[in-house]
């Protein structure tokens, strides 16, 4: 759908609408989502959802995760692992931590740290609250779903998109996208091919210098200033097929591969406005993220319903490198050497789901199915992590220059059966009961050695079987407004901690743990209660949706960094409570103007620390802001017979706490606001726009990142947002 042919859209995430360019008048359309694994009108789904369609993503200059995530009430994110590539974790309604938010591409579960390009997306759905019944272990806080555009069987077409922009600091950025819909057999089969490349210039410079945390006598090598050192390129290809077999079976194969490269860490030293890295040596810190997604969906239309089979294979390889030249001086008191630490993460996941979705004519409806997945995750520091010459410096005492080598592998198996049964008691009152039975097992092995690690091999297993229930009621008022209430449970799997027992015993004792008790951790679970309303007024020109929630979270899994030994452990830390609300409003004031706003409030805190020394009763949950919000204003016009628009967007993220490198005294992430603007005109099949992102050039602290080795005292490395960027783009469709 043409962006400028949809300029009358109401524009918020939860209610997008289209406009025909001539005559200039609002044509209201319904937003359809598949949050409950069946297509439904958004305003009829009894849960809190934000949804962005393709036109909205274009109008708001969205190219990646951060661009849309900041506009979702009560969604927050932060890096939580060493290295900026693949380290992101999400939180919805205060439920933060590894594996608390599900991330899906259509029916395929993928890691939440992924950042697939929005090219070729039909829409994005963000489901708040536990989604344990239909989506399983990784959705105790909610679920983010990327819904891709399927090939059309009746019309071949082509879409092209090019953009160029300049960042300050930074240089020229560019984006090239193209897709073709090829009808192979009219009304029977088609193929969609899409490719894209996005290049972002770096913002950071590297200069020779000694950090104040190092001794004054520390030598500094001489090298020329380098700028920028963090250029990044994302490239990808999508192949989607669609074929109708007979009259009732649809087959949809897919291949999607994406490659990301960055020359250096996009991290600011000490404060997010610092774009200069002062270093002892001119050493690069590159990162990469390569993944491939293969899937096959088969939909069979049966009498009274649809049988869906979804099978997928996901592969991923992440690499990060970090300058650790100060390590030798900090640990051993010897002159610094050219040291770069290297980590590799690989993942492989097979997943299959078969489900039945009814379309019965009576009062009953059913969604039921079975799910299986097996994944292998390998995290390793290969033997190239060395301090050159350290063994010779100490007269051969270490036997080699290898600082440490580590290989941690986890194999996770998930088996589940699920179902939701709905019944319409009257024309206005409906109820749903659901449950998910699951049997999960995690096997973990660790092998490690090196100068700063004892030679150890560790093995562990965690297994559990449970049932997760859900209950909801909804009532439609005579006005058409929807009221709903729900009670549901969410969970995530437990696991095994792996760490150096000899090195970390002191760190563990310092946070109130012992070696034996820290070897593994159990599952945690929560119970959520939600009430909400979805309303429409003025011939559906005004949409006002609101919800309130209360969450009781037990045996909370909390990551405790062991700063001195360089590891981290996950522990079950008592109990937490989260409560709050969301309010989302959008309105077409008239045919020319639309406004909207969304706000979220979360009060999330520890109620029982469970004996963990890094936590205390009443402490705020990590990385969760109290307030999040967004607003927009859009004006539509005709200029010499050409439809055009002006749009401004504002997002706000409140302050939060990061315990990544300072668990006993979490660091504050100050609040920040982002303003974007865009204007465009249509010229037949062509569209042209100018835009500005981060117009006020806000320097946001998106959280400090744990070091692969040791954080240099007094020098946190902070993930920050992109600087002010101004650009132009053009699209063509035929």
Q: Which residue has the higher pLDDT, 614 or 283?
A: 283
Contact 577, 607 (CB under 8 A): yes
pLDDT of residue 454: 75
Distance of CA 181 to the CA centre of its chain: 28
pLDDT at position 12 over 50: no
Q: Which CATH architecture has domain 4-733?
A: Beta Barrel (2.40)
pLDDT at position 24 over 60: no
For 564-592, where are the E strands, in sequence order? 567-572, 575-588
pLDDT of residue 29: 53
Contact 59, 645 (CB under 8 A): yes
**What does the pLDDT average to over 646-655?**
97
How confident is residue 528, by pLDDT bands cut at 50, 70 and 90? very high
Look at the block and give the residue holding tokens 């994005």. Answer: 124
How confident is residue 14, by pLDDT bands cut at 50, 70 and 90? very low
**What does the pLDDT average to over 70-97?**
91
Nearest Cα residue to 421 out of 336, 363, 467: 363
Q: Which residue has the higher pLDDT, 709 or 257?
A: 257
**What does the pLDDT average to over 617-634?**
94
pLDDT of residue 16: 33
Report how far residue 676's alpha carbon sits from residue 690's, in angstroms, rounded to the nearest whole number.
Answer: 11
Look at the block and give the residue holding tokens 């600082």. Answer: 403
Beta bridge partners of 239: 193, 255
How confident is residue 21, by pLDDT bands cut at 50, 70 and 90? very low
Report how far residue 54's alpha carbon sits from residue 207's, in angstroms, rounded to the nearest whole number.
Answer: 43
pLDDT of residue 335: 87
CB atoms within 10 A of CB 223: 14
Nearest Cα residue to 219 out of 211, 229, 227: 211
Measured CA to CA in angstroms, residue 85 lies from 113, 229, 531, 644 at distances of 8, 15, 38, 38
Nearest Cα residue to 112 out of 71, 65, 72, 147: 65
Look at the block and give the residue holding tokens 């789901």. Answer: 353
Beta bridge partners of 317: 290, 346
pLDDT at position 163 over 90: yes
pLDDT at position 20 over 70: no
How confident is residue 714, by pLDDT bands cut at 50, 70 and 90? confident
pLDDT of residue 11: 35
**Mean model confidence pLDDT for the chain:** 90
pLDDT of residue 504: 83
pLDDT at position 60 over 80: yes
pLDDT of residue 613: 67
Q: Which residue has the higher pLDDT, 712 or 124?
A: 124
**Burial 652-691, CB ≥16 within 10 A → b, else e:** bbbebbbbbbbbeebbebebbebbbbbebbbeeeebbbeb
CA angle 592, 595, 601 (to 5 degrees): 170
Contact 462, 431 (CB under 8 A): no
pLDDT of residue 5: 37
What are the boundaries of each domain within the chain? Answer: 4-733
Report how far residue 179's alpha carbon sits from residue 161's, in angstroms, rounded to the nearest whole number.
Answer: 9
pLDDT of residue 509: 84
Nearest Cα residue to 108 out of 410, 373, 289: 373
**What does the pLDDT average to over 678-684?**
94
How confident is residue 566, by pLDDT bands cut at 50, 70 and 90? low
Whole-model pTM: value is 0.91
Whether omega for the bond prior to residue 416 falls within 30 degrees of 0, making it cis, is: no
Report how far residue 169's alpha carbon sits from residue 172's, in angstroms, rounded to the nearest whole number.
Answer: 10
**What does the pLDDT average to over 482-500?**
89
How confident is residue 291, by pLDDT bands cut at 50, 70 and 90? very high
pLDDT of residue 8: 33
Report how far residue 567's alpha carbon sits from residue 504's, in angstroms, rounded to the nearest whole number.
Answer: 8
**What does the pLDDT average to over 423-428?**
96
Q: Token digits for 546?
A: 């609101």
pLDDT of residue 113: 92
**What does the pLDDT average to over 539-557?**
93
pLDDT of residue 560: 78
Mind listing the pLDDT tens digit for each residue in 106-146? 999 999 999 999 888 999 999 999 998 999 878 999 999 99
Report how far residue 490's alpha carbon sits from residue 524's, in angstroms, rounded to the nearest whole number.
Answer: 9
Report how far residue 681's alpha carbon sits from residue 712's, in angstroms, rounded to the nearest whole number.
Answer: 51
User: Which burial class, exposed, middle or buried, applies to 618 when counting CB atoms under 10 A from its CB (0-12, 13-18, 19+)?
Assistant: exposed
- Please state, for a pLDDT cut of 70, what percent of the chain lies above it: 95
Q: Which of the residue ranges 84-98, 415-429, 453-467, 557-571 has the most confident prediction, judged by mean pLDDT?
A: 415-429
pLDDT of residue 279: 94
**What does the pLDDT average to over 547-560?**
90
pLDDT of residue 18: 34
Sheet holding 267-269, edge to edge: 267-269, 717-720, 701-704
**What does the pLDDT average to over 284-293?**
97
DSSP string, 320-363: EEEE-TTHHHHHH-S-----EEEEEEEEEEEEEEEEEEE--SSS
């Amino acid at each position: 759908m043409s962006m400028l042919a949809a300029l009358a859209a109401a524009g918020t995430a939860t209610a997008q609408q289209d406009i025909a360019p001539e005559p200039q008048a609002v044509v209201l359309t319904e937003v359809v989502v598949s949050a409950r694994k069946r297509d439904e009108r958004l305003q009829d789904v009894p849960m809190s959802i934000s949804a962005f369609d393709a036109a909205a993503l274009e109008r708001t200059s969205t190219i990646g995760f951060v661009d849309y995530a900041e506009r979702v009430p009560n969604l927050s994110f932060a890096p939580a692992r060493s290295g900026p590539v693949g380290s992101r974790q999400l939180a919805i309604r205060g439920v933060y931590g590894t594996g608390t938010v599900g991330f899906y591409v259509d029916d395929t579960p993928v890691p939440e740290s992924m950042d697939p390009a929005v090219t070729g997306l039909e829409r994005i759905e963000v489901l708040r609250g536990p989604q344990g019944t239909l989506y399983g272990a990784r959705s105790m806080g909610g679920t983010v779903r990327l819904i891709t555009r399927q090939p059309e069987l009746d019309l071949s077409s082509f879409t092209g998109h090019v953009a160029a922009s300049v960042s300050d600091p930074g240089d020229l950025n560019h984006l090239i996208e193209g897709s073709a819909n090829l009808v192979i057999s009219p009304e029977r089969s088609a193929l969609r091919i899409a490719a894209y490349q996005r290049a972002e210039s770096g913002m950071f410079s590297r200069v020779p210098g000694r950090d104040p945390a190092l001794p004054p006598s520390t030598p500094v090598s001489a090298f020329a200033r380098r700028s920028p050192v963090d250029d990044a390129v994302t490239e990808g290809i999508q192949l989607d097929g669609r074929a109708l077999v007979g009259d009732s079976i649809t087959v949809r194969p897919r291949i999607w591969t994406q490659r990301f490269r960055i020359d250096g860490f996009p991290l600011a030293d000490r404060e997010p406005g610092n774009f200069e890295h002062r270093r002892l040596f001119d050493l690069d810190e590159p990162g990469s993220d390569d993944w491939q997604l293969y899937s096959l969906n088969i939909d069979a239309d049966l009498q009274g319903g649809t049988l869906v089979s979804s099978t997928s294979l996901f592969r991923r390889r992440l690499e990060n490198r970090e300058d650790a030249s100060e390590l030798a001086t900090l640990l051993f008191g010897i002159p610094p050497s050219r040291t770069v630490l290297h980590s590799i993460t690989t993942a492989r996941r097979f997943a299959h789901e078969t489900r039945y979705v009814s379309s019965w004519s009576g009062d009953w409806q059913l969604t039921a199915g079975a799910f299986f997945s097996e994944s292998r995750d390998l995290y390793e520091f290969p033997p190239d992590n060395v301090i050159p010459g350290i063994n010779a410096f100490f007269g051969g005492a270490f036997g080699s220059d290898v600082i440490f080598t580590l290989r941690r592998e986890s194999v996770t198996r998930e088996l589940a059966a699920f179902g939701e049964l709905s019944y319409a008691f009257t024309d206005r009152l409906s109820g749903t009961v659901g449950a998910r039975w699951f049997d999960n097992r995690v096997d973990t092995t660790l092998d490690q050695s090196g100068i700063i690690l004892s030679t150890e091999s560790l093995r562990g297993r965690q297994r559990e079987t449970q049932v997760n229930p859900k209950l909801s009621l909804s009532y439609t008022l005579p006005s058409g407004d929807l009221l709903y209430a729900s009670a549901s449970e969410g969970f995530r799997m437990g696991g095994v901690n792996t760490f150096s027992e000899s090195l970390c015993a002191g760190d563990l004792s310092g946070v109130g743990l012992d070696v034996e008790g820290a070897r593994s951790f159990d599952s945690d679970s929560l119970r959520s209660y939600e009430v909400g309303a979805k309303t429409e007024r003025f011939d559906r020109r005004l949409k006002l949706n609101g919800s309130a929630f209360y969450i009781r979270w037990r045996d909370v899994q909390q990551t405790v960094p062991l700063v001195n030994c360089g590891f981290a452990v996950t522990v079950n830390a008592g109990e937490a409570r989260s409560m709050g609300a969301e309010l989302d409003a959008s309105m077409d004031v008239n045919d020319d103007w639309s406004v909207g706003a969304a706000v979220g409030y979360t009060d999330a805190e520890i109620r029982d620390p469970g004996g963990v020394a890094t936590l205390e009763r009443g402490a705020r949950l990590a990385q969760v802001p109290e307030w999040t919000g967004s607003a927009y204003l859009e004006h539509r016009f005709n200029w010499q017979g050409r439809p055009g628009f002006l749009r401004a967007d504002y997002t706000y993220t409140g302050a939060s706490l990061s315990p990544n490198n300072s668990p006993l005294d979490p660091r504050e992430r100050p609040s920040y606001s982002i303003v974007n603007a865009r204007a465009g005109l249509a010229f037949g099949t062509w569209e042209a726009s100018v835009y500005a992102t981060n117009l006020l050039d806000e320097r946001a602290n998106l959280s400090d990142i744990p070091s692969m080795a040791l954080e240099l005292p007094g020098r946190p490395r902070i993930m920050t947002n992109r600087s002010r960027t101004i650009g132009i783009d053009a699209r063509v469709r035929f």
